[in-house]
Amino acid sequence: MGKSKILILGDIMLDEYLFGTVSRISPEAPVPVVEITSDQYLLGGAANVAANIKALGDEPLLLGTVGEDEASVKLVQLLKERRISPQFVVNDASRRTTIKTRVIANNQQVVRADRENTHELDKDTERKVLSRFKSVVDEISAVLISDYGKGVISLSLLEQVIDICVEKDIFIGVDPKETHFHNYRRVSVITPNHHEAGFAYGKRIRTEQDLLEVGNGLLAKLQAKSILITRGAGGMSIFRRDEEPTHIPTFARQVYDVTGAGDTVIATFVSAVCAGADLVEAAIVANAGAGITVAEVGTAAVSVQQLKSELEHNIKNGNLARATS
């Protein structure tokens, strides 16, 4: 891992964290009063995926849109601090840069406030995004689509990108938005959680039999090469064409914050595939990455060394995967 050029296409966000303590309830309403002691800005959405790819040693090419506002300036500054090039980020004056503000008190999230626009890109902006994609498509090992439903991943843009990738045999990984689920056809891997997968298929996953029906059903409907369903405490399950599903148990030792866990899963999975891993091996690596991320507050980028340590721990403490017929 760490030798590939991976393009990340999706919704770029800025994550703001306000940290504080609670010692009383407001006299104005039955809500806690948080005394803010510090704040922090982090890369969010597709930008956090790019940070994960960078931490793994690969070269991320971040493609998406931001507004022409103070938040976009802050976001570009954060990208440069991580040594992630902002050259493929398109400024769109018709929308604001998405900001998610989380208030954390006593290590627990109290509230989240979102500032965003979610309308689809206009045709001119979409053409700019597609043009920047085409300018580097012959240099990349994979495309990673990070869709948060904020307007960048329109059906028309998605279809054009997928057509080009299929023609050039470029690996396509998708971190999905459930309402767009059936747009992600012919991709290499899609990584929904079990709620998203159940919603997309129209059946809630309650039992292992439900899981098998949903996973195999979506695989056929989407004509995808694989589907990786993340299941929280249940671990992960990967479904592949003409193969039995493989289940990977969770090894997370403690869970503080699931923010950004999906970003870590797709980033580590795609990075591992680009390095030569098969799909099950990549899922085992992604599972280890998720275990590291949820043990930290806020979005976190996982390094190769952390992955090695986590995998060694997992190997010592149980079987990494099992197939189910």
Question: Would you name the residues annotated as active-site residues?
Answer: 263
Give the whole-angstrom CA distance, residue 4 versus residue 16.
30
Q: What are phi and psi of 316, to 5 degrees?
A: -70, -20
Report CA-CA distances (Å) from 301 to 13, 57, 92, 177: 15, 11, 27, 21
Q: Which two tokens stand for residue 275?
A: 């390095």
Give the whole-angstrom CA distance, residue 190 versus residue 172.
8
Give the whole-angstrom CA distance, residue 54 versus residue 32.
38
Q: Which two tokens stand for residue 89?
A: 């980020």
Query: With contact defined as beta carbons under 8 Å apart, do 171 and 273 qualify?
Result: yes
Please name the residues in contact with 242: beta carbons below 8 A apart, sequence gap of 6 or more. none
3-state DSSP: the chain helix, strand, coil percent, rounded to 5?
40, 25, 35
Query: With contact defined as beta carbons under 8 Å apart, do 168 and 191 qualify?
Result: no
3-class SS of residue 146: strand
